[in-house]
Amino acid sequence: MEGVIGVQAIIQLTLMVMLFIPLIYWYRLNKNNSELEDLIDVNYSKSYVSIILPMRNEAVNVKRKLLTIIPEISDFENAELIIADSNSYDDTAILAKEILEKSDLEKTRWKIMNFNVPGKNIALNGVLETINSEIIVISDADANVKSGWLKVILSRFDDEEIGVISGIEEIKGAKNKKFNNFYRSNSNILRINESSIDSTPVLEGSLLAWKSSALTDLKLNENMNADDAQIGLFSIRNGYRSIIDPRITFDDFEGSERSFSESVRRSQGLSIALIKNADLAINNKRKSAKSAIFNAIFLYVIFPWLALLYCINSAIAFTNNPIISSSWEFYSILSILMILFTNQGRSLIRGCLISIIAHIQIIIGKRYNNWEPIR
């Protein structure tokens, strides 16, 4: 019996040390003072830009989405707008055409492409095969992107090392629940700091832009989601930076929080993308990006299971020795209870639960390459 307890104590100590790895990384990262690079005036006539809006059954969002995108690009004659309709069975394509025909955009600067097989990555791959622009931008239909994003993208892409640029989701206070506030605020800080050093592997498909020269022969995996993670990691693999610029901001049109099922979907896609590109944490052209990729793999793939094992080991140990005393069994249970009584702790547990469910779905073969929007 003592031998079993000894093994459990070693396991518990090992788990505790490993669970502190993200905190150590966070501390080291925050010691770096991240400063935004100044925007520069660019010659708009140099680059041709394609803005792709993938949509599936987005009749609710199509009008307000277009009304935020069109003013941003109307004065930039080298920008075209493409609606990638992923086999919608509502009026998405019809509404988009009506709005675009009434807009100030010339008919030569927009088009609607329909794809009979549903799937965001299928639609994106289909569009990418038909265009040859220097800069490509994709934006989700439910993302309310604040004005000024095009200037930021064109300016930052003047840096030859940058291959991909994304933005951050605004934190809206009372409209968002505690989990979203906790996750978003900390995630934004992490990604911004990683971007100031070199690259971040976790980007946002709400608005994502890349240079074609940096992502030659890009083809998204159509059997998974997480196009944003795929694109960002592809850029890093090719030797270019993938960054977040906080001057590009967006939120949901409804001001609502991402649902639990949406979080599971996103977690699954990100986890698969990170696992498929795990070699970049060791063998990477961008040496400064290795630690960011390792931390992302640890945080989103490994950490949730370590936390679960810590809880299971604590419960078993305390069951075998249910004494309130100065023992590691008691303190382990106490640490879990303390976490449950804090907002941050409950948010952490929710995040781990999301990841674990996503991973289990990967194992049993449930995928989200064809995601039905929740409206």
Regions of the chain short of the pLDDT cut 50: 1, 174-176
SS3 content of the chain, % helix, strand, coil (to 5): 50, 15, 35
The DSSP result for 84-142, as a single string, is: EEES-SSSHHHHHHHHHHHSSS-GGGEEEEEESS--HHHHHHHHHTT---SEEEE--TT
Distance CA 123, CA 84 (A): 6
- Residue 161: CB atoms within 10 A of its CB come to 12
Residues 6 or more apart whose Cβ sits within 8 Å of residue 52: 82, 84, 124, 127, 136, 137, 138, 139
Q: CA dihedral defined by 22, 189, 334, 355, rounded to 10 degrees?
A: -70
Q: Would you state the pLDDT for residue 43? A: 60
Distance CA 204, CA 68 (A): 18
The DSSP result for 130-180, as a single string, is: T---SEEEE--TTEEEPTTHHHHHHHHTTSTTEEEEEEEEPP-GGGS-HHH
Q: Would you state the pLDDT for residue 288? A: 92
Q: Would you state the pLDDT for residue 374? A: 60
Q: Are 198 and 241 in contact (CB under 8 A)?
A: yes
State the amino acid at position 63 in one-letter form: K
Q: What is the pLDDT of residues 230-246, one digit of tens each?
A: 999 999 999 999 999 99
The end-to-end CA distance of the chain, in Å, is 55
Q: Would you state the pLDDT for residue 319? A: 86
pTM of the model as a whole: 0.90
Q: Would you state the pLDDT for residue 41? A: 64
Distance CA 200, CA 68 (A): 27
Q: Which of 115, 125, 117 is nearest to 231 (CA)?
A: 125
Q: Is 239 left (phi over 0), alpha (psi -120 to 50) or beta?
A: left
Q: Which of 267, 272, 276, 261 is nearest to 358 (CA)?
A: 267
Q: CA dihedral defined by 17, 305, 167, 101, rounded to 10 degrees?
A: 180
Q: Which of 148, 89, 141, 76 is nearest to 115 (CA)?
A: 89
